[in-house]
Amino acid sequence: MLTNKDNFNIDDFYKKYINGPQIFKKREALEPSFVPYELPHRDNEIEQIAGKTACSLRGGVPSHFLIYGKTGTGKTATVRFVSQKLAQYSEERKPWWIYINCSIVSTPYRILAHIYNTIVGSEQIPPTGLPKDVIFKKLLGLLDYKIKNSVCFFVLDEIDLITDSKQGNEILYDLTRLDENLELCKTCLIGISNKVKFKENLDPRVISSLGEEHITFPVYNAQELRDILESRAHIAFQEDTISEGVIGLCAALAAEEHGDARKALQLLRKAGEIAEKNHHKTVTGDHARKAKQELERDHIIDYIKGMPLQAQLVLTAIYLISKFGKDRIIVSGDIYEVHSELTNMIPGISTLTRRRISDYINELHSADIISAEKKSMGYYGRTKVLQLNIELKFLETILRDIEKVKDVLNYKPILIQNNKVRISNSTFRRLG
């Protein structure tokens, strides 16, 4: 990271950069959004999706279906790939494909607005304000008017993110029933999920129209990952810039964690960037290993910096307890207390309830920043015992960058100051 601390000269930097070795030819080819001309090891899945959607070429209506598979198994890329091919073969009845990433477009209103705005090509529906049913009616009119005699595919990526709420199920139900209210246009819903068991909290009515047919994407093994990297590297890098074995190494590193192709590609890109930054002519195994470390760090940093302030304060509370309470066991009650102390010290920040803190703890847990284990202390109640999963020093550097947090990083929480006894329970004494 470049800061303006010593003598960084931006002119020199750019000159050096321009004259330095050129590694990339087409960096975008390593981005997740890139749709390649060929998809290695996905013939089977391509065939299945093509099979399910082909009837649209002859005016038929494909039935809704689901796609399962872990992250980085090529689900989205394959759908995009098939959709592009399909478009080549449909001259009169050009189908529409509308992609909705439920992690971004996450509410019923916004899903409807997104579909509408995508079709008209401008932001006609404002981000909020209108009643849902009004948009729904407008959308029906639009579909019939604009997509006459053709099929509109809705691809809901990360669909599992909306199915745990009542309204999420509502909107899915509405979308699967669109056709009943349409005269000329037909629709097909494709749900993509990386959780296999997400059907559990799916409305039975939705399952019956969406969940009966599905396609499952298996994870890639190391050899398959290698093939994928090989073909992308060919597009992305200049000739002879990748040294022997780098591709295999990236594939192997990514295969360690369930064969995630997105990660493998990221790794390769990062390795290239590291080489480029250091003005090396070729990408080496060292670059790849370094890339792995940096990616992990970057991910944690981005995640923490992107959290809401209250969540950052919860993490800070955990940080302070770990820092000052050597060997002390961290339980949720302690976090609540320390968090309350912190919010009282920082102006403009409200104190939260236990319930809310509990949710934030869960979020940190599922982000793997902390580990948490439910534990019973018998007569002394039940709680969660937590532990930081990242290094204290590293966490400190991240927290230091957060404006409202950095001033409290040396605060010694009260419950640690009078270490000997906990007032309302003896959890500490018993466990410590």
CA distance 187 to 184: 10
Residue 344 found at the interface with DNA (CB under 7 A): no
Residue 356 found at the interface with DNA (CB under 7 A): yes
Give the nearer residue to DNA in terms of CB position, either 302 or 396: 302
Length of the chain in terms of residues written: 432
CB 220 within 8 A of CB 73: yes
How far apart are CB 129 and DNA at their closest, in Å? Answer: 3
How far apart are CB 23 and DNA at their closest, in Å? Answer: 39
Residue 117 found at the interface with DNA (CB under 7 A): no
CA distance 294 to 35: 26
Tokens of 230: 């090989």
Judged by CB under 7 A, the residue of 128, 410, 417, 418 near DNA is 128
Axis-axis angle for helices 309-324, 392-400 (nearest 10): 140
- Whole-angstrom Cα Rg for the chain: 26
Judged by CB under 7 A, the residue of 42, 64, 80, 110 near DNA is 110
Judged by CB under 7 A, the residue of 90, 118, 209, 358 near DNA is 358
The size of the interface with DNA (CB under 7 A), counted in residues, is: 48
Beta bridge partners of 68: 193, 216
Judged by CB under 7 A, the residue of 352, 388, 398, 405 near DNA is 352
Binding string, residues 148-187; x marks residues near DNA by CB under 7 A: ------------------xx--------------------
CA distance 228 to 262: 10
Residue 197 found at the interface with DNA (CB under 7 A): no
DSSP state letter for 242: B
With CB under 7 A as the contact rule, which of the stretches 95-103, 153-161, 208-216, 347-355 interacts with DNA?
A: 347-355
CB 112 within 8 A of CB 135: yes
Angle at 340 between CA 334 and CA 345, to 5 degrees: 130
Residue 277 found at the interface with DNA (CB under 7 A): no
With CB under 7 A as the contact rule, which of the stretches 1-9, 129-137, 272-280, 407-415 interacts with DNA?
A: 129-137
The amino acid at residue 116 is: Y
How far apart are CB 31 and DNA at their closest, in Å? Answer: 26
CB 148 within 8 A of CB 112: no
Judged by CB under 7 A, the residue of 9, 18, 91, 126 near DNA is 126
CA distance 51 to 400: 54
Give the nearer residue to DNA in terms of CB position, either 63 or 101: 101
Distances 432 to 49, 103, 326, 427, 429 between C-alpha atoms, Å: 57, 42, 11, 8, 5
Judged by CB under 7 A, the residue of 153, 384, 402, 408 near DNA is 384
How far apart are CB 202 and DNA at their closest, in Å? Answer: 14
Question: Where does this chain bind DNA (CB under 7 A)?
Answer: 106-110, 126-133, 166-167, 308, 310, 331-334, 336, 350-356, 358-359, 361-362, 374, 376-384, 424-427, 430
